[in-house]
Amino acid sequence: MKAHLSRRYRFSASHRLHSEQMSDAENRAIYGKCNNPYGHGHNYVLEVTVSGQVDPNGMVCNLVDLDESVNREVLSRFDIENLNMRPEFADSVPTTENLCTVIFDLLNQDILKRKFTQAHLERVRLEETMMNSFEYSGD
């Protein structure tokens, strides 16, 4: 029996949306307030969805294993950090879109490499504020 399990996590980080490819005027025009040179922060909410068969213990994925993976791969990298300083964003602007795909890839690689669960990473949803959220399913 296949089910989807979703778990929510929180982290806070700062970023500045600024692209070296564009002039200062273009950056201001495209990113507005988010281009402020000193950056600004968000309380992000990360919703991770995995899917798979419900095992004889009644689980799609052991939550202790999932929490451990999210803690190591995501929260320990980005919580209380400046995203622009992180190597993951050396070549890209830390928009929440890009952050969403980076998080999906990190978690997916960890699941595929360590095989701690049979479940499949279905989706990563990232809430930047109560008003905006972004979803990525790997394609």
Partner 1 sequence: MLYLTRKAEFAASHYYHNPELSPEENRRLFGKCNNPNGHGHNYVLEVTVKGEIDPHSGFVVDLKQLKETMHREVLDAMDHRFLNKEVPEFRTQIPTTENLAIAIWRRLAPKLTNAKLHRVRVYENHDLFVDFYGEE
Q: Binding to partner 1 by residue 133, rule CB under 8 A?
A: no
Please state the closest distance from residue 8 (CB atom) to partner 1, in A. 4
Q: Binding to partner 1 by residue 76, rule CB under 8 A?
A: no
Please state the closest distance from residue 124 (CB atom) to partner 1, in A. 15
Please state the closest distance from residue 10 (CB atom) to partner 1, in A. 9
CA distance 128 to 130: 7
Strands 133-136 and 120-127: antiparallel
Contact residue for partner 1 among 20, 33, 58, 87 (CB under 8 A) = 58
**Residue partners of 11: CB distance under 8 A and separation at least 6:** 43, 44, 46, 74, 75, 78, 79, 80
CA distance 89 to 104: 14
Contact residue for partner 1 among 57, 87, 91, 131 (CB under 8 A) = 57
Which chain residues interact with partner 1 by CB under 8 A?
1-9, 49, 54, 56-60, 62-64
